Amino acid sequence: MGVPGSDERQETVADIGEFGLIGRVTAGRRQPATTLLGPGDDAAIVAASDGRVVTSTDVLVEGVHFRMDWSTPEHVGRKAVAVNIADIAAMGGVPTGLLVGLACPRTTPTAVAEGLAAGMWEEATRAGAGLVGGDVVAADQIVISVTALGDLQGRAPVTRGGAMPGDVVAVSGRLGWSAAGLAVLGRGFRSPVTVVSAYRAPEPPYAAGPQAALAGATAMIDVSDGLLADLAHVAEASSVAIDVRTSLVPVPQRLVEVASALGADALHWVLTGGEDHALAATFPDPAGVPQGWVAVGTVGRGAGVTVDGRQYEKPPGWQHWR
């Protein structure tokens, strides 16, 4: 976690203390209009126009979700925010605020903590949300917990449980890029940069969530563990069967090239790779699929997820403790 090429002792979070660190990472930061009361009090106040708050929490652990020798602190900060706001978008919500918990060793350089915060602010700003509060504590490794808040703006939430037989399945955002980046880094390479960057800091299509809700999406989910694995959650919650058609699934040429170089399968990355945080949704009419979304399958009667009418023979996605 040190700064390469520096022989001088680096300032650590222990040197400036909890409140010194909080002051540094919040000073001069601008909040969106939805932040009625930001950092500095016992709790924050965030506006919710229709009286309902959408909320979600994710935890990122060093060595599990990120490695500091593979990513910069800014990348990790962006990723921590992105994975949470994607969940808000998957409900059809618009992100408004974020609460951040940071646990790290006392020897953590202040520059690392500030880099994490800079990445968080950058991604939050991109999504139109504010960092409104949080906490910092000592721990043996870096752990980041983010709670995201969102506003439905008067719309009904789009849950996983509304898909109906006859619906079309569509996706928005990148699929397979993060898995390809992880494979490249795992082989000891640092390029292609576009592929590696997709693993380091995903770029979810935040606006596509509310867009899908306005277009009448019947169910929606954030693709965090893999398209097939996450569509299985929709199928179970909706008591339907989902079939993905590989002829409809976009497989970018760049991924094909990387997979060929590594002896891997680009389609497998697209179908099962997690951490791109694309959105998958079901719509009642193929003609009603919004611009920027791509139809990849259908919803029918039954249970489970198939690929081209058959059970997928490989693992469908990421599972913890497996």
Q: Which residues are annotated as a binding site for Mg(2+)?
A: 42, 56-58, 87, 135, 222, 225
Pairing of strands 35-37, 45-46: antiparallel
> Inter-axis angle of helices 193-200 and 177-186, to 10 degrees?
100
Per the structure block, which two tokens stand in for 39? 């950092």
Q: Report d(CA 231, CA 243) in Å as an integer.
A: 9
β-sheet bridge partners, residue 170 = 281, 295
Using DSSP's 3-state secondary structure scheme, residue 107 falls into: coil
Query: 23 — phi, psi (to 5°)?
Result: -60, -40
Q: Report d(CA 203, CA 87) in Å as an integer.
A: 13
Annotated binding site for substrate: 65, 275, 318
DSSP letter at 15 equals H
Torsion angle of C-alpha atoms 97, 98, 99, 102, degrees rounded to 10: -160
Q: What is the longest distance spanned by two Cα atoms in the chain?
A: 66
Using DSSP's 3-state secondary structure scheme, residue 300 falls into: strand
Q: Report d(CA 290, CA 62) in Å as an integer.
A: 37
Please compute Rg for the chain using Cα positions: 20
Torsion angle of C-alpha atoms 65, 225, 122, 11, degrees rounded to 10: -10
Q: Report d(CA 22, CA 17) in Å as an integer.
A: 9
Annotated binding site: 42, 56-58, 65, 87, 134-135, 160, 222, 224-225, 275, 318
What one-letter code names the amino acid at 215? A
Pairing of strands 130-138, 94-104: parallel
Burial class from Cβ neighbours inside 10 Å (0-12, 13-18, 19+) for residue 42 reads exposed
Annotated binding site for ATP: 134-135, 160, 224
